[in-house]
Protein backbone atom coordinates (compact mmCIF):
# COMPACT_ATOMS: atom_id res chain seq x y z
CA UNK A 1 0.00 0.00 0.00
CA UNK A 2 1.33 3.42 -0.99
CA UNK A 3 0.20 6.23 1.31
CA UNK A 4 -0.30 9.74 -0.04
CA UNK A 5 -0.46 12.30 2.74
CA UNK A 6 -2.09 15.59 1.75
CA UNK A 7 -0.80 17.36 4.81
CA UNK A 8 0.16 20.62 6.45
CA UNK A 9 3.74 21.69 7.14
CA UNK A 10 4.39 24.26 9.86
CA UNK A 11 7.05 25.91 11.92
CA UNK A 12 6.11 25.29 15.56
CA UNK A 13 6.98 28.20 17.85
CA UNK A 14 6.96 26.70 21.33
CA UNK A 15 6.75 28.68 24.58
CA UNK A 16 7.12 27.16 28.06
CA UNK A 17 4.68 28.86 30.44
CA UNK A 18 3.43 28.31 33.99
CA UNK A 19 -0.18 28.29 32.77
CA UNK A 20 -2.03 28.91 29.50
CA UNK A 21 -2.76 32.58 28.78
CA UNK A 22 -6.29 33.65 29.67
CA UNK A 23 -8.38 36.31 27.94
CA UNK A 24 -6.81 39.72 28.47
CA UNK A 25 -3.76 38.30 30.21
CA UNK A 26 -0.10 38.85 29.32
CA UNK A 27 2.29 36.18 30.60
CA UNK A 28 6.03 35.57 30.42
CA UNK A 29 7.55 32.52 28.78
CA UNK A 30 10.36 30.72 30.52
CA UNK A 31 11.83 29.23 27.36
CA UNK A 32 11.29 29.47 23.61
CA UNK A 33 12.17 27.11 20.76
CA UNK A 34 11.22 26.61 17.10
CA UNK A 35 10.56 23.09 15.80
CA UNK A 36 9.47 21.65 12.46
CA UNK A 37 5.94 20.33 12.58
CA UNK A 38 2.39 20.58 11.30
CA UNK A 39 0.03 17.61 11.50
CA UNK A 40 0.83 16.61 7.93
CA UNK A 41 4.59 16.74 8.32
CA UNK A 42 4.46 14.93 11.66
CA UNK A 43 2.29 12.16 10.25
CA UNK A 44 4.48 11.71 7.17
CA UNK A 45 7.57 11.51 9.38
CA UNK A 46 5.82 8.95 11.59
CA UNK A 47 4.73 6.90 8.57
CA UNK A 48 8.22 6.97 7.08
CA UNK A 49 9.96 6.10 10.36
CA UNK A 50 7.50 3.22 10.73
CA UNK A 51 8.61 1.91 7.35
CA UNK A 52 5.61 2.90 5.21
CA UNK A 53 5.93 4.01 1.57
CA UNK A 54 4.70 7.58 2.02
CA UNK A 55 4.42 10.46 -0.44
CA UNK A 56 3.79 13.97 0.87
CA UNK A 57 1.62 16.44 -1.04
CA UNK A 58 1.10 20.00 0.13
CA UNK A 59 2.80 23.37 0.02
CA UNK A 60 5.48 25.40 1.74
CA UNK A 61 6.47 29.00 1.30
CA UNK A 62 9.77 30.50 0.24
CA UNK A 63 11.00 29.77 3.77
CA UNK A 64 10.10 26.08 3.52
CA UNK A 65 13.48 24.49 2.76
CA UNK A 66 13.96 22.98 6.24
CA UNK A 67 10.44 21.50 6.17
CA UNK A 68 11.17 19.69 2.88
CA UNK A 69 14.52 18.53 4.23
CA UNK A 70 12.88 17.10 7.36
CA UNK A 71 10.50 15.01 5.25
CA UNK A 72 13.28 13.73 3.03
CA UNK A 73 15.55 12.94 5.97
CA UNK A 74 12.80 10.79 7.46
CA UNK A 75 12.33 8.92 4.18
CA UNK A 76 9.16 10.53 2.80
CA UNK A 77 8.92 11.21 -0.95
CA UNK A 78 8.53 14.97 -1.64
CA UNK A 79 8.21 14.97 -5.45
CA UNK A 80 4.65 16.41 -5.19
CA UNK A 81 5.47 19.15 -2.68
CA UNK A 82 4.83 22.71 -3.93
CA UNK A 83 6.85 25.80 -3.07
CA UNK A 84 4.75 28.97 -3.25
CA UNK A 85 5.67 32.64 -3.09
CA UNK A 86 4.24 33.14 0.38
CA UNK A 87 4.98 32.20 3.99
CA UNK A 88 4.83 28.63 5.23
CA UNK A 89 2.30 27.69 7.87
CA UNK A 90 3.19 28.12 11.51
CA UNK A 91 1.83 27.36 14.95
CA UNK A 92 2.15 29.07 18.32
CA UNK A 93 2.28 26.44 21.07
CA UNK A 94 2.05 27.04 24.80
CA UNK A 95 3.44 24.23 27.00
CA UNK A 96 2.38 24.01 30.64
CA UNK A 97 2.80 20.96 32.89
CA UNK A 98 3.27 18.66 29.91
CA UNK A 99 0.06 19.78 28.16
CA UNK A 100 -0.24 22.06 25.13
CA UNK A 101 -2.45 24.82 23.73
CA UNK A 102 -2.01 25.48 19.99
CA UNK A 103 -2.90 28.23 17.51
CA UNK A 104 -2.31 27.39 13.83
CA UNK A 105 -1.87 29.84 10.95
CA UNK A 106 -2.34 28.05 7.61
CA UNK A 107 -0.04 30.05 5.30
CA UNK A 108 0.87 28.05 2.20
CA UNK A 109 -1.15 25.07 3.47
CA UNK A 110 -4.36 26.93 2.68
CA UNK A 111 -3.41 27.84 -0.91
CA UNK A 112 -3.71 24.43 -2.58
CA UNK A 113 -6.04 24.11 -5.58
CA UNK A 114 -8.30 21.39 -6.96
CA UNK A 115 -6.28 21.06 -10.24
CA UNK A 116 -3.11 20.51 -8.18
CA UNK A 117 -4.85 17.79 -6.15
CA UNK A 118 -6.13 16.08 -9.30
CA UNK A 119 -2.67 16.09 -10.85
CA UNK A 120 -1.16 14.42 -7.80
CA UNK A 121 -3.93 11.85 -7.45
CA UNK A 122 -3.56 10.81 -11.09
CA UNK A 123 -0.40 8.97 -10.01
CA UNK A 124 -2.33 6.82 -7.48
CA UNK A 125 -5.15 4.33 -7.64
CA UNK A 126 -6.70 1.14 -6.20
CA UNK A 127 -4.65 -0.32 -3.37
CA UNK A 128 -3.34 3.10 -2.32
CA UNK A 129 -4.51 5.25 0.60
CA UNK A 130 -5.03 9.01 0.92
CA UNK A 131 -4.48 10.56 4.37
CA UNK A 132 -5.97 14.01 5.03
CA UNK A 133 -6.30 16.33 8.02
CA UNK A 134 -8.28 19.52 8.48
CA UNK A 135 -5.26 21.84 8.11
CA UNK A 136 -5.05 22.28 4.32
CA UNK A 137 -7.30 23.54 1.55
CA UNK A 138 -9.17 21.21 -0.83
CA UNK A 139 -9.79 18.40 1.67
CA UNK A 140 -13.33 17.62 0.51
CA UNK A 141 -12.29 17.61 -3.15
CA UNK A 142 -9.32 15.36 -2.39
CA UNK A 143 -11.54 12.83 -0.59
CA UNK A 144 -14.00 12.63 -3.48
CA UNK A 145 -11.26 12.49 -6.12
CA UNK A 146 -9.39 9.75 -4.24
CA UNK A 147 -12.48 7.57 -3.91
CA UNK A 148 -13.23 8.08 -7.62
CA UNK A 149 -9.81 6.57 -8.31
CA UNK A 150 -10.50 3.56 -6.09
CA UNK A 151 -8.29 4.66 -3.20
CA UNK A 152 -8.98 4.25 0.50
CA UNK A 153 -9.25 7.42 2.59
CA UNK A 154 -8.01 7.98 6.15
CA UNK A 155 -9.33 11.13 7.82
CA UNK A 156 -7.78 12.77 10.87
CA UNK A 157 -10.50 15.13 12.14
CA UNK A 158 -8.29 17.87 13.53
CA UNK A 159 -8.78 20.69 14.14
CA UNK A 160 -12.54 20.79 14.73
CA UNK A 161 -14.07 23.59 12.64
CA UNK A 162 -17.43 24.24 10.98
CA UNK A 163 -15.73 23.45 7.66
CA UNK A 164 -15.14 19.86 8.79
CA UNK A 165 -18.86 19.09 8.95
CA UNK A 166 -19.20 19.95 5.26
CA UNK A 167 -16.69 17.29 4.22
CA UNK A 168 -17.93 14.00 2.66
CA UNK A 169 -17.11 12.07 5.84
CA UNK A 170 -19.12 9.10 4.63
CA UNK A 171 -16.28 8.40 2.15
CA UNK A 172 -13.68 7.78 4.86
CA UNK A 173 -12.40 4.25 5.45
CA UNK A 174 -10.55 5.23 8.64
CA UNK A 175 -11.36 7.93 11.21
CA UNK A 176 -8.43 8.78 13.49
CA UNK A 177 -9.71 11.09 16.22
CA UNK A 178 -9.14 12.03 19.84
CA UNK A 179 -11.84 12.17 22.49
CA UNK A 180 -12.64 15.87 21.91
CA UNK A 181 -12.98 15.35 18.15
CA UNK A 182 -14.98 12.18 18.76
CA UNK A 183 -17.43 14.02 21.00
CA UNK A 184 -17.89 16.73 18.36
CA UNK A 185 -18.51 14.27 15.54
CA UNK A 186 -20.84 12.18 17.71
CA UNK A 187 -22.76 15.28 18.81
CA UNK A 188 -22.33 14.71 22.54
CA UNK A 189 -20.69 16.49 25.46
CA UNK A 190 -20.36 13.29 27.49
CA UNK A 191 -17.01 11.51 27.73
CA UNK A 192 -18.66 8.12 27.37
CA UNK A 193 -16.24 6.39 25.02
CA UNK A 194 -18.53 3.44 24.36
CA UNK A 195 -21.40 5.74 23.41
CA UNK A 196 -19.13 7.82 21.18
CA UNK A 197 -17.96 4.69 19.36
CA UNK A 198 -21.56 3.43 19.04
CA UNK A 199 -22.77 6.70 17.51
CA UNK A 200 -19.90 7.00 15.06
CA UNK A 201 -20.07 3.33 14.04
CA UNK A 202 -23.80 3.71 13.37
CA UNK A 203 -23.24 6.84 11.29
CA UNK A 204 -20.13 5.89 9.29
CA UNK A 205 -18.83 2.71 7.68
CA UNK A 206 -15.25 3.67 8.57
CA UNK A 207 -13.02 2.03 11.13
CA UNK A 208 -13.06 4.40 14.12
CA UNK A 209 -9.75 4.82 15.95
CA UNK A 210 -10.39 6.87 19.09
CA UNK A 211 -7.51 8.01 21.31
CA UNK A 212 -8.55 8.95 24.84
CA UNK A 213 -5.43 10.11 26.66
CA UNK A 214 -4.67 8.17 29.83
CA UNK A 215 -7.47 5.71 28.98
CA UNK A 216 -5.59 4.51 25.89
CA UNK A 217 -7.13 3.98 22.46
CA UNK A 218 -10.11 2.15 20.97
CA UNK A 219 -10.80 0.59 17.57
CA UNK A 220 -14.34 -0.03 16.28
CA UNK A 221 -15.48 -1.30 12.92
CA UNK A 222 -18.96 -2.75 12.87
CA UNK A 223 -19.16 -5.23 15.75
CA UNK A 224 -15.38 -5.51 16.10
CA UNK A 225 -13.94 -3.58 19.04
CA UNK A 226 -10.52 -3.63 20.68
CA UNK A 227 -8.61 -1.48 23.13
CA UNK A 228 -4.99 -0.72 23.97
CA UNK A 229 -3.78 0.90 27.19
CA UNK A 230 -1.02 3.45 27.55
CA UNK A 231 2.56 2.94 28.64
CA UNK A 232 3.72 4.85 31.71
CA UNK A 233 6.48 7.27 30.71
CA UNK A 234 7.58 10.72 31.93
CA UNK A 235 5.51 13.24 29.95
CA UNK A 236 7.64 16.03 28.51
CA UNK A 237 5.67 17.31 25.49
CA UNK A 238 2.42 15.95 24.01
CA UNK A 239 2.59 18.01 20.79
CA UNK A 240 3.12 15.17 18.27
CA UNK A 241 1.55 12.31 20.24
CA UNK A 242 -1.61 12.04 18.14
CA UNK A 243 0.28 12.38 14.85
CA UNK A 244 2.74 9.69 15.89
CA UNK A 245 -0.14 7.40 16.81
CA UNK A 246 -1.84 8.07 13.46
CA UNK A 247 1.28 7.41 11.40
CA UNK A 248 2.25 4.22 13.19
CA UNK A 249 -1.30 2.86 13.15
CA UNK A 250 -1.64 3.34 9.39
CA UNK A 251 1.85 1.97 8.79
CA UNK A 252 0.85 -1.12 10.78
CA UNK A 253 -2.31 -1.47 8.69
CA UNK A 254 -0.21 -1.23 5.52
CA UNK A 255 1.95 -4.07 6.88
CA UNK A 256 -1.15 -6.20 7.41
CA UNK A 257 -1.20 -6.15 11.22
CA UNK A 258 -4.46 -6.89 13.04
CA UNK A 259 -6.21 -3.87 14.62
CA UNK A 260 -5.29 -4.89 18.19
CA UNK A 261 -1.62 -5.21 17.26
CA UNK A 262 -1.71 -1.92 15.33
CA UNK A 263 -3.20 -0.16 18.37
CA UNK A 264 -0.50 -1.51 20.68
CA UNK A 265 2.26 -0.50 18.29
CA UNK A 266 0.83 3.01 17.83
CA UNK A 267 0.38 3.42 21.59
CA UNK A 268 4.01 2.48 22.17
CA UNK A 269 5.18 4.93 19.52
CA UNK A 270 3.15 7.82 20.93
CA UNK A 271 4.39 7.04 24.44
CA UNK A 272 7.96 7.43 23.24
CA UNK A 273 7.05 10.68 21.47
CA UNK A 274 5.58 12.33 24.58
CA UNK A 275 8.73 11.52 26.55
CA UNK A 276 10.69 13.84 24.24
CA UNK A 277 10.38 17.56 23.49
CA UNK A 278 9.37 18.81 20.05
CA UNK A 279 7.18 17.66 17.20
CA UNK A 280 8.72 15.79 14.25
CA UNK A 281 12.02 15.34 16.04
CA UNK A 282 10.29 13.49 18.90
CA UNK A 283 8.87 10.72 16.67
CA UNK A 284 10.60 7.34 17.11
CA UNK A 285 11.60 4.80 14.49
CA UNK A 286 10.02 1.36 14.01
CA UNK A 287 13.09 -0.24 15.59
CA UNK A 288 12.91 2.02 18.64
CA UNK A 289 9.26 1.13 19.18
CA UNK A 290 9.94 -2.60 18.84
CA UNK A 291 12.72 -2.35 21.41
CA UNK A 292 10.47 -0.33 23.74
CA UNK A 293 7.64 -2.87 23.50
CA UNK A 294 10.04 -5.74 24.10
CA UNK A 295 11.24 -4.23 27.37
Residues of the chain with pLDDT > 90: what percent?
A: 85
For residue 224, give the 3-state DSSP assignment.
strand
Rounded to whole angstroms, the Cα distance separating 181 from 184 reads 5
Whether the model pTM is above 0.85? yes
CB atoms within 10 A of CB 287: 10
Closest residue by Cα to residue 292 from 268, 260, 261, 264:
268
Q: What letter does residue 265 receive in the DSSP assignment? A: H
Q: pLDDT tens digits, residue range 95-123?
A: 998 788 888 899 999 999 999 999 999 99
> Directed axis angle between helix 139-148 and helix 114-121, to 10°?
30
Does residue 9 contact residue 135 with C-beta atoms inside 8 Å?
no
How confident is the model at residue 278, as a pLDDT?
81
Residue 241's pLDDT is 92
Cα 204 from chain centre: 20
Across the range 11-31, mean pLDDT stands at 94
**Could you count the other beta carbons within 10 Å of the beta carbon of residue 165?**
11
CB 112 within 8 A of CB 7: no
Average pLDDT of the segment spanning 86-101:
91
Burial 58-95 (b: 16+ CB within 10 A, else e): bbbbeebeebbebbeebbbbbebbbbbebbbbbbebbb
Q: How does DSSP classify residue 285?
A: P
Q: Which domains does the chain have, with CATH numbers?
A: 2-8+38-85+110-294 (3.40.1190.20)
User: Average pLDDT, stretch 167-185?
Assistant: 94
Amino acid sequence: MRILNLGSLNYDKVYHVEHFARAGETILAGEHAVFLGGKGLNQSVALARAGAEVYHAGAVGSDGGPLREQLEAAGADTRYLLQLDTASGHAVIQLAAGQNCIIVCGGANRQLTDPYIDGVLDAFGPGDLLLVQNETACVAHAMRAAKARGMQVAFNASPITDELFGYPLELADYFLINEIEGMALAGTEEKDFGAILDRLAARYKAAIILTVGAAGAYYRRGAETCHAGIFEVPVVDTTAAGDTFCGFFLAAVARGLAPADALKLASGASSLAVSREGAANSIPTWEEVQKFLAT
